[in-house]
Amino acid sequence: MTSELDIFVGNTTLIDEDVYRLWLDGYSVNDAVALRVRSGILEQTGATAGVLQSDTMDHYRTFHMLERLLHAPPKLLHQLIFQIPPSRQALLIERYYTFDEAFVREVLGKKLSKGTKKDLDDISTKTGITLKSCRRQFDNFKRVFKVVEEMRGSLVDNIQQHFLLSDRLARDYAAIVFFANNRFETGKKKLQYLSFGDFAFCAELMIQNWTLGAVDSQMDDMDVDLDKEFLQDLKELKVLVADKDLLDLHKSLVCTALRGKLSVFSEMETNFKNLSRGLVNVAAKLTHNKDVRDLFVDLVEKFVEPCRSDHWPLSDVRLFLNQYSVSVHSLDGFRHQTLWDRYMGTLRGCLLRLYHD
């Protein structure tokens, strides 16, 4: 006796959260059944393996049918085929768009193209996340990217409106979209110590301060692209390191202010010019796309690593950066104060976040 057909359809669609998770994690029906058996569900409920198999199949089929709707979450709310309570709808959507830290670190900043998709096999092997789950996560990134890429207005709001995600998840997606659009390099070995949260934090600061939307949300362009004009202007900052007098003055201002306040004062003093040169040069290079991509590599190379090798405590880094930014206001010969603040305000936030082991 073999089962040809076996279905269960409820007027209210039954959603089993555990099975949903297994499905999202990309397990096959048989693997999911095995995992459920291991969870001890048979003992708890007195069910047989056959019952579990049939139940799992049924849920998988339902999820498969729902997947089409989950690709455009507002459709899930308006469709008539599945009667699902609103709280469950929210859960379905949120979980579907949730991604793995390990996975996102692999693709963050990469072009969401077919080429990257082909690499998913390797990512799957590397991270231990099933290929199926990798594909879902990748496709989610790509889908969100495609929808909001050309849209005006706040990136987070757009994502939230079109994908009905929670605020937190929408912010994460904003970061992913922002990184994908600007192709920031995040995969280099020296960046491996950084978490997705670190990057997302930086992305948020950059979206808030460095994009066109940051200046004027009515503008044609929006949150996704960096303000080109601003990047051009950043060249003007070069004077801070190119002008020897200015650099010395800057150094003396900072050193005077911080004397006795830093545990690593002498290291700071010796390294000041290098550090300042590094930070200003990063700004000056941002006119080239290639250098924009390497922003994080440069920041780590030019600032984080030197400080770290000298064992700066975080509090000292904070004090230094604050003083370093503020002192520029006292440089009489320097005319680009606003530009400096727009650049350094964000950079300071990023560097503090990036500065850890």
Partner 1 sequence: MPGKLKVKIVAGRHLPVMDRASDLTDAFVEVKFGNTTFKTDVYLKSLNPQWNSEWFKFEVDDEDLQDEPLQITVLDHDTYSANDAIGKVYIDIDPLLYSEAATVISGWFPIYDTIHGIRGEINVVVKVDLFNDLNRFRQSSCGVKFFCTTSIPKCYRAVVIHGFVEELVVNEDPEYQWIDRIRTPRASNEARQRLISLMSGELQRKIGLKVLEMRGNAVVGYLQCFDLEGESGLVVRAIGTACTLDKLSSPATFLPACNSPSKEMKESPLVHPPSHGCRSTHNSPIHTATGSRLTQSFSVSVPTLIYTGMGSGSAGKEGGPFKALLRQQTQSALEQRGGSPHRFCRRREFPFLTLTAFPPGLLVHVGGVVSARSVKLLDRIHNPDEPETRDAWWAEIRQEIKSHAKALGCHAVVGYSESTSICEEVCILSASGTAAVLSPRFLQEGTVDGSLEQRVEENLPVGCGFCHIPYDELNMPFPAHLTHCYNCRKQKVPDVLFTTIDLPTDAVVIGKGCLIQARLCRLKKKAQAEANATAISNLLPFMEYEVHTQLMNKLKLKGMNALFGLRIQITVGENMLMGLASATGVYLAALPMPGGIQIAGKTPSDGSYEQHISHMQKKINDTIAKNKELYEINPPEVSEEIIGSPIPEPRQRSRLLRSQSESSDEVTELDLSHGKKDAFVLEIDDTDAMEDVHSLLTDVPPPSGFYSCNTEIMPGINNWTSEIQMFTSVRVVRLSSLNLTNQALNKNFNGLCENLLKSLYFKLRSMTPCCLCHVNFTVSLPEDELIQVTVTAVAITFDKNQALQTTKAHAEKSLQRASTDNEELLQFPLELCSDSVPSHAFPAAKEHPESASSNSGTPAAQRATSVDYSSFADRCSSWIELIKLKAQTIRRGSIKTTVTVEKASPMGDGNFRNRSAPPCAGSTVGVVKMTPLSFIPGAKITKYLGIINMFFIRETTSLREEGGVSGFLHTFIAEVFAMVRAHVAALGGNAVVSYIMKQCVFMENPSKNQAQCLINVSGDAVVFVRESDLEVMSTQQPAVNCQPTCTGEVTT
In the complex with partner 1, the residue whose CB is nearer, 84 or 350, is 84
Q: Which is nearer to partner 1, 89 or 182 (CB)?
A: 89
Environment class of residue 71 by beta-carbon count within 10 Å: exposed (0-12), middle (13-18) or buried (19+)?
middle
Burial classification of residue 122, based on how many CB atoms lie within 10 Å of its CB (0-12 exposed, 13-18 middle, 19 or more buried): exposed
Nearer residue to partner 1 within complex by CB, 80 or 357: 80
Measured distance CA(317)–CA(181) in Å, rounded = 30
Where is 106: in which H helix or E strand?
A: helix 101-107
Residue 258 to residue 351: CA distance in whole angstroms: 19
Least gap, CB of 28 to partner 1 (angstroms) = 15
Which residues are at the interface with partner 1 (CB under 8 A)?
Answer: 1-14, 45-48, 50-52, 54-55, 57-58, 61-62, 64-65, 75, 77-83, 85-86, 89
Rounded to the nearest whole angstrom, what is the least distance from the CB of residue 39 to partner 1 in the complex?
14
Nearer CB in complex with partner 1: 8/193: 8
76 or 254: CB nearest partner 1: 76
Give exposure, 231-253, as e/b (b: 16+ Cβ within 10 Å): bebbeebebbbeeeebbebbbeb
Looking at the Cβ atoms of 83 and 270, the one nearer to partner 1 is: 83
Minimum distance from CB of 170 to partner 1 (Å)?
A: 17
Of the candidates 198, 203, 218, 214, which has an alpha carbon nearest to the alpha carbon of residue 173?
Answer: 203
Q: How many Å apart are CA 14 and CA 320, to the nearest integer?
A: 57
Q: For the CA atoms of the chain, what is the radius of gyration?
A: 25
**Considering the complex, what minimum distance in angstroms separates the CB of residue 62 from partner 1?**
8
CB of 263 to partner 1, least distance (A): 54
Q: How far apart are CA 309 and CA 305, in angstroms?
A: 6
Q: How far is the CB of 116 from partner 1 (least distance, A)?
A: 25
